[in-house]
A and B are shown apart, each in its own frame.
Chain A
Amino acid sequence: MGELTLGVFPSLVGSMSLDFSFRLAEAAIAKGHKVNMWLSGNAVMMAKKGQKAFKDYSYNDKLMKELIAKGMEITACEACAEARGYHKEDAPEGMKRASMDWYLAKTVKTDRLLHIGGE
């Protein structure tokens, strides 16, 4: 099995590309692949624990926790998070925070890379 790294750079809250990223990660893990996910820009909305599910509203918190439990490595851009007022203590269990260096290192070593842009 291979290693897939996803760079997630979405735009607004409820972004379709953020939803896409988690569902693609879920499918890759189901096939036995290792998945790394880098959250940048507004994707750091996932770096806030205690999110609530509403009907007809994008909600990835539950799936994210399931994927972390299955071995997905997920790291949020620390600067992007701090810029939005999300601090280290806000991050969900299992999520790392780091500089862009983390993502760049993954892009070099990973078998495949999908850099998912905004909308």
Chain B
Amino acid sequence: MKLAVFLSDWRRTEDSFERLKADKMGVVLVGNGIYHAVVKENGKDSPVLSKAGASYYVLADDLEIRGYTAANVNSKVKVISYGDIVDLIMNDYEKTAWL
């Protein structure tokens, strides 16, 4: 299964997230989920970014409205637009999950 997971909050959702398994996984950081892409705690990346084999994306609009730019984003994460999200859903992944 090809699964796109939307993380919309900064709250700890690792328990649910860690249980998710897929042949191919894309993680889309939106809303307050964008903090996973820009904040380090004690010098470490968010645990969300450690999913083996996953691809990471962050919504540019939600970054900018919180005062961040692409320059602030973790190198594991690609900055994308709403149109890019549509393409991910329609072309690259079969199922979606919202956490």
Q: Which residues of A contact B (CB under 8 A)?
A: 2, 4, 16-17, 20, 23-24, 26-28, 30-31, 33, 111-117, 119
Contacts and interface: CB of A to CB of B under 8 A. Distances in A.
Chain B interface main SS type? helix
Interface of B: 6, 8-9, 30-32, 61-62, 81-83, 85-87, 89-90, 94, 96, 98-99
A68 to B, nearest CB: 18
B4 to A, nearest CB: 8
Nearest to B61: A23
B81 A111 contact: no
B86 A33 contact: yes
Given A24-B86, A112-B96, A119-B32, 17 more contacts: A2-B90, A16-B31, A20-B31, A23-B82, A27-B81, A27-B83, A27-B85, A30-B83, A31-B83, A31-B86, A31-B90, A33-B86, A33-B90, A111-B90, A114-B6, A114-B89, A115-B98
